[in-house]
């Protein structure tokens, strides 16, 4: 890239958690520069956040419309290239739409929108504008997740038969939304989160991960959803039976009341000849299993010759120097920036290597969420997930 890609941000005030995560991830490789933001609907808070980030105060805005219009009016060589949307779910659609309509690329938090209607509307605009649109399902940014995808694509496990994804968290075991915990408050609020808490927040990561690694699509599902904490307005737990388009069967377990668990996203895939296993809390290992040979532990290491080119292209450090969550997000940001650069400058990137979740993945995520909630409400009726 000839220059840094310029980023604007909507949401992400400094007292929250998610804005910093995105800013650190974007900054890591020195190829993306934060140039402006509407960090909060509270103008003062937005300004304070902008100052703490050493931004030019003229480019700290109090709402996304203002930001998009003002940035559009700046000279081409100054204005932001893309908008990073890190607001709660109900505020994904409008800023994304407005940015696209005004010629800005967009990178949006998951789930893509408040409902499938909005998601499909975004997909349509993306097609019409031809702009770059990414969704931050960052777990597929981990190098060993990409390695897993390559192994299955290469046929080493044979035909895939069974997929188990679990995503247990315990942070909503008590009614902390009642105590004003900020993230809990909006995630359990149907007005901000939509029809789902647990599935929208983490179940959709599980779905995305399963489909990314295996290259398969979920075709139908049967769910048992629960709200264990009294007074909560959305589900906090889901057990889901899933079926894939090649005949494979699976289970997705998502929970926010798995008391004492942190964020133990784990996937296991089994084929005819072997299986693989990846656990987000030990992200630099990928376990390969075989019916005839000893288990192998593949390890992340920038120069490891036994890894695929794709995995190595997403590693920054030699073996034994742990990479983490921020690097997975940074991979997503970097690949997105490559695509923006490609769009802007007609450069050619190897998109097979430098992939990232697109608006289509986002739409799919919304459909998954809606299918789970529908099945859950109908006592586990099998519900078809349209592709």
Tokens standing for residue 153? 């694509």
Q: Closest separation between CB of residue 288 and a second copy, Å? A: 7
CA dihedral 4→95→206→199, nearest 10 degrees, is 160
C-alpha 7/C-alpha 125 separation (Å) is 20
C-alpha 281/C-alpha 251 separation (Å) is 20
Between helix 143-153 and helix 204-214 the angle, nearest 10°, is: 50
Q: Closest separation between CB of residue 357 and a second copy, Å? A: 18
Residue 318, Cα to own-chain centre: how many angstroms? 26
CB nearer to a second copy: pick between 130 and 320: 320
Q: Closest separation between CB of residue 293 and a second copy, Å? A: 6
Q: Closest separation between CB of residue 79 and a second copy, Å? A: 17
Q: Closest separation between CB of residue 87 and a second copy, Å? A: 19
CB nearer to a second copy: pick between 70 and 289: 289
Q: Closest separation between CB of residue 111 and a second copy, Å? A: 19
C-alpha 316/C-alpha 303 separation (Å) is 10
CB nearer to a second copy: pick between 12 and 113: 12
Q: Closest separation between CB of residue 322 and a second copy, Å? A: 4
Q: Closest separation between CB of residue 251 and a second copy, Å? A: 5
CB nearer to a second copy: pick between 89 and 284: 284
* Backbone phi, psi, residue 17, to 5°: -105, -40
* Backbone phi, psi, residue 285, to 5°: -120, 145
Tokens standing for residue 253? 């377990």
C-alpha 297/C-alpha 177 separation (Å) is 41
C-alpha 387/C-alpha 381 separation (Å) is 19
CB nearer to a second copy: pick between 72 and 175: 175
Q: Closest separation between CB of residue 205 and a second copy, Å? A: 12
C-alpha 361/C-alpha 363 separation (Å) is 5
Please enumerate in sequence order all residues whose Cβ is within 8 A of that of 29, keeping only pairs 6 or more positions apart, or say none. Answer: 330, 333, 334
Please enumerate in sequence order all residues whose Cβ is within 8 A of that of 8, keeping only pairs 6 or more positions apart, or say none. Answer: 34, 35, 36, 37, 38, 67, 71, 80, 82, 83, 84, 104
CB nearer to a second copy: pick between 111 and 376: 376
Count CB neighbours of 212 within 10 A.
Answer: 20
Report which secondary-structure segment, H or E, holds 221: strand 218-226
CB nearer to a second copy: pick between 120 and 282: 282
CB nearer to a second copy: pick between 43 and 302: 302
Is the preceding omega at residue 111 within 30 degrees of 0, hence cis? yes
Q: Closest separation between CB of residue 207 and a second copy, Å? A: 16
Q: Are 203 and 254 in contact (CB under 8 A)?
A: yes
C-alpha 206/C-alpha 121 separation (Å) is 24
């Amino acid at each position: 890239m000839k220059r840094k890609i310029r980023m604007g941000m909507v949401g992400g005030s400094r007292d929250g958690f998610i804005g910093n995560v995105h800013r650190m991830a974007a900054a890591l490789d020195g190829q993306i520069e934060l140039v402006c933001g509407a960090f909060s609907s509270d103008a003062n808070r937005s300004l304070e956040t902008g100052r703490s980030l050493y931004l030019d105060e003229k480019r700290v805005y109090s709402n996304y419309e203002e930001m998009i219009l003002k940035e559009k009016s700046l000279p081409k060589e100054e204005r932001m290239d893309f908008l990073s949307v890190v607001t709660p779910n109900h505020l994904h659609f409008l800023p994304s739409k407005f940015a696209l309509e005004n010629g800005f690329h967009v990178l949006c938090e998951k789930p893509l929108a408040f409902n499938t209607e909005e998601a499909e509307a975004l997909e349509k605009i993306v097609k019409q504008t031809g702009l770059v649109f990414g969704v931050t399902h960052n777990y597929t940014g981990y190098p060993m997740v990409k390695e897993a995808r390559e192994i299955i694509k290469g046929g080493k496990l044979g035909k895939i038969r069974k997929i188990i994804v679990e995503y247990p968290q315990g942070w909503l075991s008590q009614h902390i939304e009642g105590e004003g915990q900020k993230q809990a408050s909006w995630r359990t609020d149907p007005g901000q989160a939509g029809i789902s808490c647990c599935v929208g927040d983490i179940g959709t990561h599980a779905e995305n991960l399963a489909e990314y690694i295996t290259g398969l699509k979920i075709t139908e599902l049967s769910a048992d959803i629960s709200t264990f904490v009294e007074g909560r307005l959305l589900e906090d737990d889901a057990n889901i039976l899933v079926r894939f388009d090649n005949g494979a069967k699976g289970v997705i377990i998502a929970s926010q009341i798995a008391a004492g668990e942190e964020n133990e996203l784990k996937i296991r895939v089994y084929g005819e000849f072997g299986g693989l296993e990846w656990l987000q809390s030990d992200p630099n290992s990928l376990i390969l299993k075989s019916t005839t040979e000893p288990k192998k532990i593949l390890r992340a290491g920038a120069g490891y010759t036994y890894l695929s080119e794709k995995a190595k292209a997403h590693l920054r450090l030699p073996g034994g120097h742990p990479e983490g969550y921020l690097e997975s997000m940074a991979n997503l940001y970097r690949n997105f920036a490559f695509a923006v650069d490609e769009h802007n400058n007609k450069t050619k990137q190897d998109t097979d290597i430098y992939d990232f979740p697109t608006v289509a993945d986002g739409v799919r995520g919304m459909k998954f969420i809606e299918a789970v909630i529908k099945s859950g409400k109908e006592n586990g009726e099998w519900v078809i997930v349209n592709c």
